[in-house]
């Protein structure tokens, strides 16, 4: 018998009418012969209201009591939903996270799921009843109520779907599905019919609020087909699923654009350039449980290095503490920070196999006069830090620049929907490795690192002292792209970047070694026009990558990776991070030993 999980978000159960509509959907699925588990969020703005109640009492409520309070929103919803289902003539039982047995760790307000008992849900389903599960909550070893973080009901839904091996997890929400960007920013945002787990994981982690990013980690790890659908109509929405890698070249260059409105940039300036700098930074950030958003290290000069990273503005104070501690430990340097910044990211698996995607993105931003304060690229994403007052223009420019409002044409990854068994058979070699690791996890949300890769055929080019104004990166990378050269890793750092432009930036990127000389000629031709620019290169560079799932949001991965490289005495030239890969550029002579030490550190 097939099993379906249906999750209803806050708006979709906000009043009696909508709640009844949701109940009717669940009952219809049940009558159609499916076993049905319904996951419900708190109604409407309930969770925000509860947060306000706490704020009326104190500025610093205990995290445990916040969880006790916030979990009541979902408890109200499940009881009402069970009544609504009963009123539609089906049998239902509501359950809290504790009653189901959603066992989490004890990190209140951000708890991670360890395991989930299926016994009570199975018994209820087998008795022909619908299970109504409270989203967003669990219980720790000491029976404290925990919550999974804002937006966490999505994660409850995909986690239940994973342990119950559901045929589909349906996420009902207030938009038509996953769109090419947030429709509140760009009205012409278009519905995506199908998207790969990796793209959705990056988009969610980079700010696309439609799904909690940890829910996509579950979906990817446990191969849960997820469908994001509108609660208000019958349309099919978006299927999040395995998309074969060999179809990348036919994919759109960019699938979606995401925005994090409130970012701060923290800079460590004038720190000693020696192995261990990044290890120290990541260790201190992990101590504060902070995942870094973008992180950039400039290639050292005069024995000094410069590291910049961004975090959401709400984490500014902890990040400054972490940065100060790192500087103190390194023995030299200063901390500065830049505010009123936003992060705009473009995500698309098509960029794996096409040149010029970054150049085109920078061009569209340059054309509307948006200055790039920082750049960081990874396999399937490009992020730029822009002045906050221009952030919506930037999202719109990138969206329009890649024609994302246009209907997908045949063959661009729309695809036919495959039965579940086939979807599971569609795994690439990398995904097979991943499944192996997932099968052995002690705790459901543990880090998954499936592979460490070495690419020893790269060179690095660094351009220092470039004018920090709109259009500069565009000119540079357009020239390189016109030469048909694949640029792999790009980092740009604006040393005194607090927004507002001015000053100078420095930019590093890697190209295949065979293309180095051609790339240098192209770069010189452009950069010579700017005056005072200094170009340097390292012909022999290696890229080391740790590949897995949820790497950026698990603070421990960076700590372990950079700690291991520091112990091995390996100096890092460049770095980029994403949910599916963290890569560093190191000297070619350190490639093989770095590969070995990382493989040992992650036990792969
Ligand atoms: P729910 O309460 O159902 O969980 P959320 O408010 O958490 O709903 O998520 C839905 C909202 O996410 C939409 O109203 C939309 O404004 C926003 N959003 C941001 N990025 C996207 C995107 N790429 N596609 C669809 N919606 C998006
Ligand atoms: N009610 C919680 C929140 O508002 C969880 C959720 O809706 O997903 O964050
Ligand atoms: Mg949500």
Instruction: Spell out the domain ranges in the chain.
Output: 3-243, 257-404+450-602
User: Long-range contacts: 75-80, Cβ < 8 Å, 24+?
Assistant: 75/134, 76/42, 76/43, 76/46, 77/13, 77/40, 77/41, 77/42, 77/43, 77/46, 77/134, 78/40, 78/132, 78/133, 78/134, 80/13, 80/19, 80/43
Instruction: Say which CATH architecture domain 257-404+450-602 belongs to.
Output: 2-Layer Sandwich (3.30)
- Atom 9 of ligand 2: nearest residue by CA position: 150
Q: What pLDDT sits at residue 498?
A: 40
Residues with CB under 5 A from ligand 3 (ion): 151
Q: What pLDDT sits at residue 425?
A: 64
- d(CA 220, CA 62) in angstroms, rounded, equals 33
Determine if residue 476 is left, alpha or beta; phi over 0 gives left, psi from -120 to 50 gives alpha, anything else beta: alpha
pTM: predicted TM-score of the whole model, two decimal places: 0.94
Residues of the chain with pLDDT under 50: 410-418, 497-501
Chain centre to alpha carbon of residue 362: 21
- Would the CB of 8 count as within 6 Å of ligand 2? no
Please give the span between the terminal C-alpha atoms of the chain, in angstroms, as a whole number.
38
User: Long-range contacts: 14-23, Cβ < 8 Å, 24+?
Assistant: 14/43, 14/44, 15/43, 15/44, 18/231, 19/43, 19/80, 19/81, 19/84, 20/84, 20/87, 20/88, 21/231, 21/232, 22/81, 22/84, 22/172, 22/231, 23/81, 23/84, 23/85, 23/87, 23/88
Nearest to 358 by CA among 459, 492, 265: 492
- d(CA 598, CA 600) in angstroms, rounded, equals 5
- Atom 5 of ligand 2: nearest residue by CA position: 151
Q: Which ligand has the minimum distance to the alpha carbon of residue 187?
A: 1
Are the C-beta atoms of 530 and 466 separated by less than 8 Å?
yes
Are the C-beta atoms of 41 and 203 separated by less than 8 Å?
no
Q: Where are the beta strands (DSSP E) in 41-112?
A: 92-95, 102-104
Q: What pLDDT sits at residue 423?
A: 53
Are the C-beta atoms of 85 and 25 separated by less than 8 Å?
no
The owner of tokens 């390189």 is 480
- Atom 4 of ligand 2: nearest residue by CA position: 47
- Would the CB of 563 count as within 6 Å of ligand 2? no
Distance 450 CA to ligand 1 centre (A): 31
Q: What pLDDT sits at residue 552?
A: 86
Q: Which DSSP letter does residue 445 get?
A: T
Q: Which ligand has the minimum distance to the alpha carbon of residue 47?
A: 2
Neighbours of 168 (CB within 10 A): 19
The owner of tokens 């902890």 is 318
Q: What pLDDT sits at residue 297?
A: 81
Ligand 1 atom nearest 12 alpha carbon: 3
Distance 411 CA to ligand 3 centre (A): 30
The phi, psi pair for 279, rounded to 5°, reads -55, -45
The owner of tokens 């909690």 is 212
Question: For residues 52, 54, 55 and 60, what is the CA-based torsion angle, rounded to 10 degrees?
Answer: -140
Nearest to 430 by CA among 351, 546, 545, 547: 547
- Would the CB of 10 count as within 6 Å of ligand 2? yes
Cβ neighbors of 380 (< 8 A, separation 6 or more) are 198, 199, 202, 347, 348, 349, 351, 352, 578, 580
Q: What pLDDT sits at residue 422?
A: 56
Pick the CATH number of 3-243 from 1.10.10.10, 3.40.1160.10, 1.10.3720.10, 3.90.25.10: 3.40.1160.10
Task: Give the relative orientation of helices 277-287 and 555-567 as an angle to the nearest 10 degrees.
Answer: 150
Question: For residues 50, 55, 56 and 58, what is the CA-based torsion angle, rounded to 10 degrees?
Answer: 130
- d(CA 568, CA 276) in angstroms, rounded, equals 9
Both structure tokens of 194: 């199908």
Q: Which ligand has the minimum distance to the alpha carbon of residue 42?
A: 2
Cβ neighbors of 319 (< 8 A, separation 6 or more) are 264, 266, 285, 288, 290, 309, 311
Q: Which ligand has the minimum distance to the alpha carbon of residue 148?
A: 2
Ligand 1 atom nearest 257 alpha carbon: 23
Neighbours of 143 (CB within 10 A): 7
Are the C-beta atoms of 76 and 69 separated by less than 8 Å?
no
Q: What pLDDT sits at residue 499?
A: 41
Are the C-beta atoms of 61 and 27 separated by less than 8 Å?
no
- d(CA 368, CA 378) in angstroms, rounded, equals 24
Q: What pLDDT sits at residue 366?
A: 93
- Atom 1 of ligand 2: nearest residue by CA position: 42
- d(CA 7, CA 231) in angstroms, rounded, equals 10
Q: What pLDDT sits at residue 438?
A: 85
Three-state secondary structure along 477-494? HHHHHHCCCCCCCEEEEE
- d(CA 237, CA 194) in angstroms, rounded, equals 9
DSSP codes of every residue in 183-228: TTT-TT--B-SEEEHHHHHHHHHTT-TTS-HHHHHHHHHTT--EEE
- d(CA 140, CA 146) in angstroms, rounded, equals 7
Distance 11 CA to ligand 1 centre (A): 10
- Would the CB of 41 count as within 6 Å of ligand 2? yes
Instruction: Name the residue of 70, 97, 136, 215 whose CB sits within 8 Å of the most ligand 2 atoms, as the mutation to test its pocket.
Output: 136
Q: What pLDDT sits at residue 62?
A: 97
Distance 496 CA to ligand 3 centre (A): 36
- Would the CB of 104 count as within 6 Å of ligand 2? no
- Give residue ranges with CB within 6 A of ligand 1: 9-12, 41, 151, 173-175, 178-179, 181-184, 208-210, 256
């Amino acid at each position: 018998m097939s099993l379906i999980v249906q999750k209803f978000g806050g708006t979709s159960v906000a009043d009696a009418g909508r709640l009844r509509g949701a109940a009717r959907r669940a009952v219809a699925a049940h009558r159609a012969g499916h076993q049905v588990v319904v996951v419900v969020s708190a109604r409407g703005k309930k969770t925000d209201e509860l947060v306000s109640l706490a704020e009326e009492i104190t500025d610093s409520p205990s995290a445990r009591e916040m969880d006790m309070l916030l979990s009541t929103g979902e408890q109200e919803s499940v009881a009402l939903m069970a009544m609504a289902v009963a009123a539609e003539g089906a049998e239902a039982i509501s359950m809290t996270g504790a009653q189901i047995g959603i066992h989490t760790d004890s990190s209140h307000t951000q708890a991670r799921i360890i395991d989930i008992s299926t016994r009570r849900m199975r018994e209820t389903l087998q008795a022909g009843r619908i299970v109504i599960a409270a989203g967003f909550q669990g219980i720790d070893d000491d029976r404290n109520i925990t919550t999974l973080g804002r937006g966490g009901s999505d994660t409850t839904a995909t986690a239940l779907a994973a342990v119950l091996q559901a045929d589909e997890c349906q996420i009902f929400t207030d938009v038509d599905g996953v769109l090419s960007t947030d429709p509140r920013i760009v009205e012409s945002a278009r519905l995506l019919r199908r998207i790969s787990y990796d793209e959705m994981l990056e988009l969610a982690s980079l700010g696309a609020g439609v799904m909690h990013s940890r829910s996509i980690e579950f979906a990817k790890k446990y191969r849960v087909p997820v469908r994001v659908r509108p609660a208000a109509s019958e349309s099919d929405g978006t299927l999040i699923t395995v998309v074969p890698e060999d179809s990348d070249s036919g994919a759109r260059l960019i699938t979606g654009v995401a925005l994090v409105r409130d970012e701060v940039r923290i800079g460590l300036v004038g720190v000693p350039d020696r192995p261990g700098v990044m290890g120290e930074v990541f260790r201190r950030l992990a101590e504060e449980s902070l995942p870094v958003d973008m992180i950039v290290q400039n290639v050292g000069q005069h024995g000094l290095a410069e590291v910049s990273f961004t975090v959401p503005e709400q984490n500014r104070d902890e990040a400054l503490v972490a940065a100060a501690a790192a500087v103190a430990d390194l023995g030299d340097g200063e901390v500065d920070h830049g505010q009123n910044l936003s992060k705009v990211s473009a995500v698309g698996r098509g960029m794996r196999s096409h040149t010029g995607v970054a150049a085109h993105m920078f061009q569209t931003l340059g054309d509307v006069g948006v200055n790039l304060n920082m750049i960081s690229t990874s396999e399937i994403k490009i992020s730029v830090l822009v002045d906050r007052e221009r952030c919506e223009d930037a999202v719109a420019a990138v969206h329009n620049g890649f024609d994302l409002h246009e209907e997908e044409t045949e063959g661009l990854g729309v695809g036919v929907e495959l039965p579940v068994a086939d979807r599971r058979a569609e795994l690439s070699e990398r995904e097979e490795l991943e499944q192996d690791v997932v099968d052995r996890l002690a705790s459901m949300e543990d880090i998954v690192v499936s592979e460490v890769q070495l690419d020893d055929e790269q060179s690095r080019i660094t351009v220092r002292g470039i004018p920090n104004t709109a259009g500069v990166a565009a000119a540079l990378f357009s020239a390189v792209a016109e030469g048909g050269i694949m640029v792999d890793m790009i980092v740009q750092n604006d040393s005194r970047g607090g927004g507002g432009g001015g000053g100078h930036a420095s930019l590093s990127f890697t190209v295949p070694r065979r293309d180095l000389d051609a790339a240098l000629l192209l770069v010189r031709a452009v950069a010579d026009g700017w005056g005072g620019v200094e170009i340097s290169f390292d012909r022999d560079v290696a890229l080391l990558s740790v590949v897995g799932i949820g790497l950026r949001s698990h603070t421990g991965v960076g700590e372990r990776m950079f700690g291991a490289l520091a112990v091995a005495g390996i100096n890092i030239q460049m770095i980029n991070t994403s949910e599916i890969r963290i890569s560093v550029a190191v000297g070619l002579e350190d490639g093989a030993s770095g590969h070995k030490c990382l493989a040992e550190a992650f036990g792969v």
